[in-house]
Amino acid sequence: MSGLCRGRITFRVTAGYELFDHTADLGIRAFGSTVEEVVESMTAGFYAAVGTLVLQEGGEACRVTVRGEDDAVLLRDYLACLLLRLERHLQVLEIDRVVQFGGGELSVEGVWRGVDEGRSDLLREVKAITYHELSLVRTDQGCEAKVIVDI
């Protein structure tokens, strides 16, 4: 064994997301050191899948809560709530904090902010958040989630 791999190796996971092509759909992979960072990254990734959104000033304080047994499904259901609000009111959630993720609940506090349609670049219509290849994996290094959106 060479001396190059001696000692303990630690990794620091930087939060973020990436979009990837998936057949006729679009995938979002989010990662972070904690599940809370994954929720924040997935939220940013979801809105990036829609386009470059310019937000209006002000907004309405809110708490978005979904309940269920499976954490990956909780994340999917949370994104479905964001999609519904975007479709009906042209508003996005600006997260202040993830209050809880686990124990059957995902709860996020933030502000619903309107989208300035004239200054935004809406690239694609997201029709649905699918269950296809849905995953949330926790490791010693952090967390990663994957969602496929129907476009």
The per-residue pLDDT for range 110-141, each reduced to its tens digit, is 999 999 999 999 999 999 999 999 999 988 88
How sure is the predictor about 12, in pLDDT bands with cuts at 50, 70 and 90? Answer: very low
Say which CATH superfamily domain 12-150 falls into: Archease domain (3.55.10.10)
AA letter at 114: G
Q: What is the pLDDT of residue 13?
A: 55
What ranges do the domains of the chain cover?
A: 12-150
Query: What is this structure's pTM?
Result: 0.85
